[in-house]
Amino acid sequence: MGGGMRKMLRRIGSWAADGLFPRGACCLCCGDPRRADEEDGLCDKCRGRLEELRVPTSACEKCLSPVKKGERCAFCKSPAMRDVGAVYAPYRYQAEARRLVHAFKFHSCGEAGTLLGRETADALRDTDFDWIVPVPLHPRRLRRRGFNQALLLGAEISRRTGIPVRDVLRRDRYVKPQSRMPFGKRQKNVAGAFSCGEDLTGKRILLVDDVRTSGSTAADCARALKEAGAGKVCLAVSAVVYRRSQ
């Protein structure tokens, strides 16, 4: 089947979907046709569950990792936070929050992206940044997906906060094979995966990604931004991953 044919079939498919399920009719999480709030895009049940997935107030103030009472945060001492000033996120990456991220990232659901962008912007209360910089996708993945979810999230956060988006990071093609390298040097090799072509002297940067997992991607980006002169780098994501034991 040719590309033109495939495109046409996809278009017909989307017309059919629009006709059967008018845009904006169903809950973005579970497909329930009864949305509690048209703009929010969720049914009552999913909104309630999503509220339970909010990052708890007991989490580390700086990185949002879970901390035990009276103990210092281990994640803050890890290399992941060396160049990252703070992390902002509305949700823990589980259940409904995870479903929304998937709908946005893998099923191109723009409404889910708007919801996540709005909630992430709300998590930034009382902060001040000069530029929003999205984490770039690898060029090959960008071609396959067709969009960079971090850039779209950044654009939504920008719309709500007025902070301009500057897409200044590049994900350079990975060159050196890692397998023959001693483990300690691998991290360094991956660190070279990002570069920044702009002078960021003194700029306060809000790095944006969809999810923070181990923090290593953000750490590598933050390092590249600091090398370009950034005075401060913080990270905003729509969800943070808590390990099962946490």
Closer Cβ to Zn ion, 65 or 217, answer by number: 65
Stretch that binds Zn ion, among 52-60, 83-91, 120-128, 174-182 (CB under 5 A): 52-60
The nearer residue to Zn ion, 73 or 153, going by C-beta atoms, is: 73
Which residues in 135-174 belong to E strands, given as ranges? 169-171
Residue 23's alpha-carbon distances to 11, 12, 105, 109, 166, in angstroms, are 15, 15, 18, 11, 31
Q: Is the dihedral of CA 41, 124, 167, 136 positive or negative?
A: negative
Enclosing H/E stretch for 12: helix 3-20
60 binds Zn ion (CB under 5 A): yes
Interface with Zn ion includes 30 (CB under 5 A)? yes
Q: How many CB atoms lie within 10 A of CB 93?
A: 19
Does 76 engage in binding with Zn ion (CB under 5 A)? yes
Q: Does 62 interact with Zn ion (rule: CB under 5 A)? A: yes
Taking the complex as a whole, the smallest distance from the CB of residue 146 to Zn ion amounts, in Å, to 27
Q: How far apart are CA 164 and CA 155, in angstroms?
A: 8
Task: Identify the sign of the CA torsion 11, 12, 16, 19.
Answer: positive
By the rule CB under 5 A, 100 interacts with Zn ion = no
| 63 touching Zn ion, by CB under 5 A | yes
At which residue do the structure tokens 């023959």 appear? 180
Distance separating alpha carbons of residues 73 and 75, to the nearest angstrom: 6
Q: Does 133 engage in binding with Zn ion (CB under 5 A)?
A: no
Interface with Zn ion, residue 29, by CB under 5 A: yes
102 or 140, CB closer to Zn ion? 102
43, 121, 207, 230: residue in contact with Zn ion (rule CB under 5 A): 43
Residue 88 binding Zn ion, by CB under 5 A: no
Contact window for Zn ion (CB under 5 A) among 32-40, 146-154, 178-186, 195-203: 32-40
For residue 132, the SS3 value is strand
Cα–Cα distance for residue pair 74/70, rounded to 1 Å: 12
Give yes or no for a contact between 50 and 91, defined as CB atoms under 8 angstroms apart. yes
The stretch among 42-50, 102-110, 168-176, 222-230 that binds Zn ion (CB under 5 A) is 42-50
If the CB atoms of residues 41 and 136 are measured against Zn ion, the closer one turns out to be: 41
Q: Which residues bind Zn ion (CB under 5 A)?
A: 27, 29-30, 32, 43, 46, 60, 62-63, 65, 73, 75-76
